[in-house]
Amino acid sequence: DAGVTQSPTHLIKTRGQHVTLRCSPISGHKSVSWYQQVLGQGPQFIFQYYEKEERGRGNFPDRFSARQFPNYSSELNVNALLLGDSALYLCASSLSGGSYEQYFGPGTRLTVT
């Protein structure tokens, strides 16, 4: 069975631009979460979606938004990119919200110049 997939693998953008990152969860999983990992730190929670509804939001500005589609895949959008948005963006899937094990994708490495 395929694990969590993310695209693209790497991305280079310029300050002020917009970016869309994509995630497909493990088959049968209905919850997707997004994390940002800056070099040298642990992942920071951005969003959780379950059944197309936002179930959790971390301490990130409104420039960050996400959505989940009927097939449970998800997009993370970031507007007006800043240099500080350069990071590894990780997607995790789980059966649902609540006390379930999370499985992570390989991540998208975003560089903002």
d(CA 68, CA 49): 7
- Output 75 or 88, the one with its CB closest to other proteins: 88
> Which residues, in sequence order, are bridge partners of residue 10?
109
d(CA 50, CA 91): 13
CB contact at 8 A, 13 and 109: no
- Compose the 20-59 pattern: x for residues touching other proteins by CB under 8 A, - for all others: -------------x-x-x---xxxxx--x------xx-x-
- Output 15 or 62, the one with its CB closest to other proteins: 62
**Which residues contribute to the site for other proteins (CB under 8 A)?**
33, 35, 37, 41-45, 48, 55-56, 58, 88, 90, 97-104, 106-107, 109
